[in-house]
Amino acid sequence: MLIQCTKKVLDELKIKPSIVEEEDPLFSFHANVITINRRKVLVLMNDQNRYVIVLYGMKAKDWKRIDKLIIEAVRESFKSEFIKEEVMEQYIQAASTISFTKTKNRSFVAQLNKACDHVYFYERDLEPDKFIQTEMGKNASRLFVGVGNNQHIHPNEELYKDLAVYSGQEIFQCKAVKLKVTLLLENHSIWRRIIVPLDITFEQFHKVLQICFGWQNYHLHEFYIYEEAKDELGIHMNHSAFHPQGYQPIVNLVSYEESLSYACEDIPCKMENGIKLAEYLPANMKYIYDFGDNWEHIVECEEIIADFNMNHPICLDGAGAAPPEDVGGEYGFDEFLATIADSNHPDYQFMSSWGRQQGYQEFDKEQINRLLK
């Protein structure tokens, strides 16, 4: 593997650049070091497909073992993309010897600088306790980038094509779960059937559900996980942990720290950060979004899929348009629907326009899948 370094990186390495022959661009990266939160961040961009890998919090001892860290970062990045183990190891074995040299030309440096800008853009996805920032790298690699001659690509999709050609096989494989997610409303049938990789976190699963129901991620959320045993706590039906089938809640996963102080004594409460679906599923769940309008979703596990051949969730089926954000709960939703169904209503124009601004639309499986991909 060839790492083509800016002067900043060479200064950190404290080495003179090697004189090496041209390397296969699939095994070549350009590298720069930037600063985020006063910590040094190594940004690697693949020469062939522009895929981005991010190492956060580089210290003096890390630069001394940079070879091993780069290989580890490639492995973790590929794992996060659900690349098959055999494809990943085939690539890593071929890239195990690393050389460091100067940047290739101004064009590559310009594209590297743009990759660094994309990393800055996704600073909100930074996980402060992680050295290899797979989410930042994945998100930066999903942006549309120019590669010269008026050509533009999505780096992640180009990486998939390159690995498929290199390995001569399908490159994705992961364990997944088929779920039916139903929004609890008395007068409406609104549900989605989806497949999601089991290795995604509950924080990522929240984002999947936001897409599937057309929410805008304006509000807080939480999950309850249940066991099949019937509820022995005597939870009142108005309590957020209540399950229509009477299941026993075993944990409450929350998205903000303040909620830990409000937790029910009988139900363990944890931050959802870093917890993967695989730690609890298969299990019944409840997903609650927007504690004002209080949209409660029942999540049923229908099937575990051992060899899912995609690296992103998919929507298989569904029905019903979910309520727009801030509509005022189920009563407000019914009023909204009655208004936009009557062109003679005095608020018809306003509410129709407001609904569109809030993203309200009929269930569209194709659009949902485009966004999930």
4 phi and psi, to 5 degrees? Answer: -100, 115
105-134 burial, b for 16+ CB within 10 Å, e for fewer? Answer: eeebeebbbebbebbeebeebbeeebbbbb
Asked if 114 and 145 touch (Cβ cutoff 8 Å), the reply is yes
Nearest to 182 by CA among 4, 317, 32: 317
SS3 content of the chain, % helix, strand, coil (to 5): 35, 30, 35
Neighbours of 6 (CB within 10 A): 19
The answer to whether the peptide bond before residue 282 is cis (omega within 30 degrees of 0) is yes
Cβ neighbours around 53 below 10 Å, total: 26
Locate tokens 């009477």: which residue?
246
Tokens (6 digits) for 248: 């026993």
Residues ≥6 apart with Cβ < 8 Å to 151 = none
Q: What pLDDT, on a 0 to 100 scale, did the predictor assign at position 320?
A: 95
Domain ranges of the chain: 2-167, 174-372
Dist CA 303 CA 308 (whole Å): 12
Distances (CA, A) of 273 to 5, 128, 215, 254: 34, 12, 21, 9
Query: Cα separation of 92 and 95, whole Å?
Result: 5
Structural fold of domain 2-167: Nucleotidyltransferase; domain 5 (3.30.420)
pLDDT at 345: 94
- Output the six-digit token pair for 249: 């809640």
Res 336: pLDDT: 94
Domain 174-372: which CATH number of 1.10.10.10, 3.10.290.30, 1.10.3720.10, 3.40.50.300 = 3.10.290.30
Of the candidates 52, 215, 60, the one whose C-alpha atom is nearest the C-alpha of residue 121 is 52
Per-residue tokens: 365: 């499986």
Question: Which pLDDT value is given to residue 233?
Answer: 67
Q: Walk along the chain (373 residues) in steps of 10 and give the mean pLDDT of each run.
A: 95 85 89 96 97 97 96 96 95 91 91 96 90 94 87 94 96 96 95 97 96 94 89 76 88 87 80 93 94 95 94 96 93 94 93 91 94 92
